[in-house]
A and B are shown apart, each in its own frame.
Chain A
């Protein structure tokens, strides 16, 4: 068996080829530009419709306009909403000076946070199953002077289809595969619900569906790609915040977009996941963000655990030899009288 360079970590030129696909199409992916997302959730709906993804809990969360809460086994696109008391570059929200009172966003956020803290899976159930806050405290009425500046961040989150996908690496059945498009897909007839992928994903994307017992996540609409169509979410997006295409083309487009935004004074704009030298070898579905990833519920510096797999086996080897030696020496000493 030949072990390809950077098979566990680092940039990979041809992911599908490295996975064993001979002739294959170019690597396809998403560029999600959050600066033009309007939070319509058409992507969430289109995804559910096309892929037959079941209901994930009819929740009213108090997370601004977000009542999905996160990606999960039954939410493969998730639109996050973040309300911030600040301006987006030179734009004017038009509310400064109006008698609207200060933003209540901080107060409601604190309430959601305390409910999530008490949830059995810390909010991990969002996107997969119903989430019922054990009690709903009263929302304090914010009092104070005029309202501050305001901006509303929206991000349509999705599986990152990592170059080095932790879920794919650890899957013990071969249910998770790298497709010819370079995407990561679960074969539902193979998955036995071991749950390893759930803990291996540094983004909290893939999850096991209760009642079904198998792991589910975005397939980047593998069936549509095979038919030459773009994924349902990208097709439905009315502002082209979700762009589908060849990853190389998308990366160039994203770099140009970032430059444009910076020229226009949006200095906080940044790309997330476009760099093949990052901890997962770059995302197949990357983003343009307007704040640090943590604000959107994303890890600031995701790393695939497989990076350290050789070192882990080495440590385990030493420990195993130690156990053998301990057992041997336990019998070496003379029998007690």
Chain B
């Protein structure tokens, strides 16, 4: 651009040497952020984790239902509803006007990932809740229509939840990528894979906690697939030397993401080495995977916030 011309200016009177006006720093307005940092709190990172966990748990529960793994099914369905409920709580809490949360349901807008997500989440929540209700209220011999309906509806509801689950795990990545936040927007190709893989790893971890080792083989495998893809996608993000991706490597976000990788790797190694034989090892590995998932989302959240507070990430320098 014309930047060089502006730096070197010859005074009109010609009395002095060429004046160099050095630009010590990249151009900015008193170093002020160009963007407004997200008004979202860490709640939103917890929601991303819990939503992903719920999605993965629904997938495990449906598979367990089909293959006759009772404990995995039960833990999966209840875990899916519990984490979804807690996640929704964080989501509503983060609104500026929580009492207006239902305004999300006035419109369906394809240009808004949050609107699309609201509808996915509503349908998924209904299916997820039905499957969980069937789990806690299963007695087919009980008199009364609700119990009979639930007894029949549990399996199809679980399947519907499992079909919608991948969308629940993936849409949140689009939600944050579709912003002006440099670190999130620049990672738009990788984030969906990080999010779904992290969901798989977390849900696998949950499965290893709620089901005995002889039932938890699918959970261990899901955790392994998820952990491998999550670690690979994170490495890829770190390997790309784009300026906007720098916050993933540095500062608080970098530390959180390193911790996430370490916990995920430890969890998956533990599950491979001892998860089959020892319930205690399975529970510890599962907990490590869950913690890894929390740190992963917290790290991504922090990286995004950091990239908005420095004008460098918007205008270069």
Interface residues of A (CB under 8 A from B): 7-8, 61, 63, 69-70, 72, 80, 82, 84-87, 90, 106, 109, 112-114, 116-117, 121-124, 126, 148-149, 166, 169-175, 190-196, 198-208, 212-215, 267-268, 291-300, 302, 305-306, 308-309, 311-313, 315-324, 326-331, 333, 335-336
Some 16 contacts from A to B, beta carbons below 8 A apart, are A112-B31, A113-B25, A124-B308, A173-B106, A174-B107, A190-B106, A201-B36, A203-B35, A294-B29, A294-B315, A297-B32, A312-B192, A316-B170, A323-B56, A327-B162, A331-B63
Q: Please state if B34 and A194 are interface contacts (CB–CB under 8 Å).
A: no
Q: A192-B101, A323-B59 are in contact. Are A203 and B34 (CB under 8 A)?
A: yes
Rank and list the top 9 A-B pairs by shortest CB-CB distance, nearest first: A193-B96, A122-B309, A297-B29, A213-B96, A113-B31, A320-B166, A192-B100, A319-B192, A327-B59
Q: Please state if B178 and A305 are interface contacts (CB–CB under 8 Å).
A: yes
Q: A8-B111, A202-B35 are in contact. Are A90 and B12 (CB under 8 A)?
A: yes
Chain A residues contacting B173 (CB-CB under 8 Å) are 312, 316, 319
Q: Please state if B170 and A82 are interface contacts (CB–CB under 8 Å).
A: no
- State in angstroms the CA–CA spacing of A207 and B308 once bound together: 14
Whether B28 is near chain A, meaning CB under 8 Å from some CB there, is yes
Q: Please state if A172 and B112 are interface contacts (CB–CB under 8 Å).
A: yes
- State in angstroms the CA–CA spacing of A328 and B165 once bound together: 13
Q: Please state if B107 and A323 are interface contacts (CB–CB under 8 Å).
A: no
Chain B nearest CB, measured from A17 CB (Å): 17
Chain B residues contacting A308 (CB-CB under 8 Å) are 177-178, 185, 188
- State in angstroms the CA–CA spacing of A320 and B177 once bound together: 16
A-B pair number, CB within 8 angstroms: 302
When the two chains form the complex, which single residue of A90, A320, A322 contacts B229, counting CB atoms closer than 8 Å? A322
- State in angstroms the CA–CA spacing of A207 and B40 once bound together: 11
Chain B residues contacting A166 (CB-CB under 8 Å) are 179-180
Whether B236 is near chain A, meaning CB under 8 Å from some CB there, is no
When the two chains form the complex, which single residue of A175, A213, A297 contacts B311, counting CB atoms closer than 8 Å? A297
| Contact flags B6-44 to A (C-beta < 8 A → 1, else 0) | 100101100000010100111111111111111110000
Chain B residues contacting A114 (CB-CB under 8 Å) are 31
Chain B nearest CB, measured from A115 CB (Å): 9
Max chain B C-beta neighbours (<10 A), residue from A63, A170, A329: A170
Chain A nearest CB, measured from B303 CB (Å): 13
